[in-house]
Structure 1
Amino acid sequence: MSDSDVALATPVELDDQPAWTPPTWDEVVREHADRVYRLAYRLTGNSHDAEDLTQETFIRVFRSLASYKPGTFEGWLHRITTNLFLDMARRRSRLRMEGLPDDTDRLAGDDPSPEQVYSETHLDPDLQDALDELPPEFRAAVVLCDVEGLSYEEIGATLGVKLGTVRSRIHRGRQALRASLERRRELTREASA
């Protein structure tokens, strides 16, 4: 390589490594859509909000993909999804609107919906209901830890909070889950007695 070649080469080319090229939109969606939807569903507790959150996540990814610095792509997706969920929860706490029941103008089918099948095979409905009762910050921390299997450090990076805050949110979230599940068990016992 001559001196003029060295001056024109990028640092990556000097290391004989190919430059990072972002994946295509199709590759990102195909590879990560299920995981993003699953996290969104666990955070929101319903399919409509999960679909909206998944769509918003991929829109944000599409807009930011060119500026993404290679690292843990899944962690980046978790962070975007979780931050968008927290934003959505904050907006909703300011705007309290009553929606129509989910079964309005729908005919009942014989087969369960994909969301029902997934919910029934993965999390107990009482547990999902108890998760839905948690404040958004606690729910996000507990879901990322206990459902998605992220480490405390990864959760801290995803939520943009310190490790002590992560531990506190998980501890308090789990306490609230235990209390909620115990109340549900008591109600079930009383109803069956």
Structure 2
Amino acid sequence: MEVPPLSQSSTTPTVQPTDEHATVPAQAGQATQQVATPNDAVSTGAAPQPANNTRADNTRADNTRADNSVAPLEDATEAWTPPTWDEVVREHADRVYRLAYRLSGNAHDAEDLTQETFIRVFRSLASYKPGTFEGWLHRITTNLFLDMARRRSRVRMEGLPEDTDRIVGDDPSPEQVYSETHLDPDLQTALDELPPEFRAAVVLCDVEGLSYEEIGATLGVKLGTVRSRIHRGRQALKASLERAAATRSREALG
């Protein structure tokens, strides 16, 4: 808050001019000099301005600065409006379910994770700060999966579920959603065998297409940890797929 300039009358005592102070006696050959008093205007060739005009100008300038400082805040507040609950579900339900299925490996857990994700979204939507909405959903879904995995001694695995028509969303056909949601059976089995932290990193990178930086933000880990988990997860996937291929070859020969 700026302090308005003090007027001269409040800081400088008023000196009443007298005959003794009004002029300085001229020396020989010199003109008489006038002594400026606090009430005299500085000679600039312009008419003197009242002191209250200066204070009014300063007040108007302060008000202008105050108005300018408030306007950007109002614009920023009105720049983003949270989507409605129906809009969030309609636009993102299939994406969340797909990620939940690839992380959990079965339809039952995927449905539970999807429902819990949108419950969390519903509770936090009003306080959500504008950013990457898909990244926020990735983070909620992945963290819920990791919490679920930690609560279990091992993650329950299924074969191809028979309830593939029990999907989230009405627009795509069951066959389309199934093909988009389910990975190759051998690959899904290999993913299910990975530790949950490795599985989440590999799925987010190689299936969902997130960058290392985005994965680090989603999992809340450093970039080096992301690289390590992805590298080790890929190595484990490769070994598992090689074993599955060898088993299939023996079965075909035998």
Give the shorter-chain TM-score range.
Answer: 0.7 to 0.9
- Give the Cα–Cα distance (whole angstroms) in 1 for the partners of residues 73 and 188 of structure 2: 47
Unaligned stretches of 5+ in structure 2?
Answer: 1-61, 168-173
TM-score, length-scaled by structure 1: 0.82
- Give the Cα–Cα distance (whole angstroms) in 2 for the partners of residues 97 and 163 of structure 1: 26
Aligned residue pair count: 182
1:129 aligned partner: 189
- If asked which structure has higher relative contact order (CA below 8 Å, sep 6+), I would say 1
Asked whether the equivalents of residues 57 and 81 of structure 1 are also in contact (C-alpha less than 8 Å), the reply is yes
Deviation at 1:9, TM superposition (A): 4.8
Report SS of the residue matched to 1:69. coil
Amino acid at match of 1:187: T
Aligned with 1:53 (options 103, 113, 119):
113
Asked whether the equivalents of residues 134 and 176 of structure 1 are also in contact (C-alpha less than 8 Å), the reply is yes
TM-score, length-scaled by structure 2: 0.64
Asked whether the equivalents of residues 53 and 81 of structure 1 are also in contact (C-alpha less than 8 Å), the reply is yes
Flag as ranges the 4+ runs of structure 1 deviating above 6 A. 96-99
- Give the Cα–Cα distance (whole angstroms) in 2 for the partners of residues 162 and 76 of structure 1: 18
Report SS of the residue matched to 2:152. helix
RMSD between aligned alpha carbons?
3.1
Aligned with 2:241 (options 175, 178, 181):
181
Asked whether the equivalents of residues 149 and 155 of structure 2 are also in contact (C-alpha less than 8 Å), the reply is no
2:130 aligned partner: 70
The answer to whether 1:83 aligns with 2:133 is no
- Give the Cα–Cα distance (whole angstroms) in 2 for the partners of residues 98 and 135 of structure 1: 13
Deviations 1:152-178 (A, max 9, x none): 000000000000000000000000000
Q: 1:119 to 1:139 in 2, by over 3 A?
A: farther
2:73 aligned partner: 12
Unaligned stretches of 5+ in structure 1?
Answer: none
Q: 1:178 to 1:36 in 2, by over 3 A?
A: same
Deviation at 1:19, TM superposition (A): 3.8
- Give the Cα–Cα distance (whole angstroms) in 1 for the partners of residues 166 and 120 of structure 2: 26
Q: 1:188 to 1:161 in 2, by over 3 A?
A: same
Asked whether the equivalents of residues 190 and 241 of structure 2 are also in contact (C-alpha less than 8 Å), the reply is yes
Deviates more, 1:114-123 or 1:140-149: 114-123
Asked whether the equivalents of residues 53 and 84 of structure 1 are also in contact (C-alpha less than 8 Å), the reply is yes
2:18 aligned partner: none
Relative to its length, the structure with more helix (as a share) is 1
The answer to whether 1:156 aligns with 2:220 is no
2:250 aligned partner: 190
- Give the Cα–Cα distance (whole angstroms) in 1 for the partners of residues 156 and 198 of structure 2: 24
Deviation at 1:126, TM superposition (A): 0.6
1:170 aligned partner: 230
Asked whether the equivalents of residues 36 and 81 of structure 1 are also in contact (C-alpha less than 8 Å), the reply is yes
- Give the Cα–Cα distance (whole angstroms) in 1 for the partners of residues 228 and 247 of structure 2: 29
Report SS of the residue matched to 1:22. coil
Q: 1:166 to 1:35 in 2, by over 3 A?
A: same
The answer to whether 1:40 aligns with 2:90 is no
